[in-house]
Amino acid sequence: MIWLSPVCYGCPFLRIVIQDRHTEIQVRGDDMQGIRVGVVGAGLMGAEIALVFALAGSRVIISDRCDEALEKARKRVATIVDKGIAAGRYDESAKLALDRLSYCTGCTDLAGSEVLTEAVFEDQAVKFDVLQALAEISNPDTLIATNTSTIPISTLAAALPPDRRGRFIGTHYFSPVSRMPLVEVIPGFETLPETVAETRSLMESIGKSAIDVKDVPGFAVNRMLHAMIIEAVRLVEEGVATPEDIDMAAKLGLGHAIGPFALMDAVTSTLCVQAQEIMQEAYGERFRPPALLKQRVRAGFGGGKGKPGWLAS
């Protein structure tokens, strides 16, 4: 099977940080010792999802089609642990978690996993290919989760054989996963109640706080987020305030750790437009991407590391 993606699997998608202080995941020793976990997608999200499981005691395999992405993931998780120890968030035993991580290309080595998480690029066709591959190599009772941030779980469940859909669920983490405690737990139409209960327990065991969310496009957090982003761009379109002042208002008036324009620059306006178009299809005009946002993307002002966006770098 050929997996198609514009880049390696581990591309970050839209997440928001809305707390003044992050909560560091604590090392839990043997809480999940013996649980075998597989994560497909070695980018910002996938690498840190793997790390929090390893910190909780699991042996984890990170899979990606791209050796370069795997090497970046290896360096990223090591840096997170080192900085966490230096800051007093972890003790020295956190380094043992790095020994519980292994890396591979393809999905074959994930065959014995009891928990599998898909964390690849937010593209339905790519996710379908990955989920089909995971269903082929895993046991019937394996829990398969997706970290999609906008695509309905029941839509993705269609990639799986009917007898596997009861063990399929959405677990939407937030970046940085190693420090943000929230996970949206989203059952699909055919997800079994016991799968939901098991997933909530699993999230608790890795130090996460889970909320139950209905299976709708964008779920809960991203619907709130994009309503704010769209209105923020409209304020700029109407000349009400500058991006810099709106970001200051979000931080000093609403208590957000980052303003909407700095956030768009970090995750790229391109991905914001993509998310909004998915939700516009579901909910109509209230999520239509603003004309100015789309114009800036087309003009090359989409943001991203080292690239022009809304704010001066």
Indicate which residues carry an active-site annotation.
Answer: 149, 172, 184, 222
Side-chain-side CA neighbours of residue 92 (13 Å): 0
Q: Are the CB atoms for 122 and 71 separated by under 8 Å?
A: no
Q: Give the pairing type, strands 182-187 and 209-212.
A: parallel
Locate tokens 């964008």: which residue?
Answer: 218
Q: Are the CB atoms for 46 and 73 separated by under 8 Å?
A: yes
Distance CA 236, CA 239 (A): 5
Q: Which residues contact 30 (CB under 8 A, 6 or more apart)?
A: 57
Measure the CA angle with vertex 154, ends 132 and 228; round to 5°. Answer: 115
Q: Are the CB atoms for 13 and 45 separated by under 8 Å?
A: yes
Q: Give the pairing type, strands 168-173 and 182-187.
A: antiparallel
Question: 184: helix, coil or strand?
Answer: strand
Distance CA 236, CA 209 (A): 35
H-run or E-run covering 267: helix 260-267
Distance CA 43, CA 141 (A): 27
Q: Are the CB atoms for 212 and 268 separated by under 8 Å?
A: no
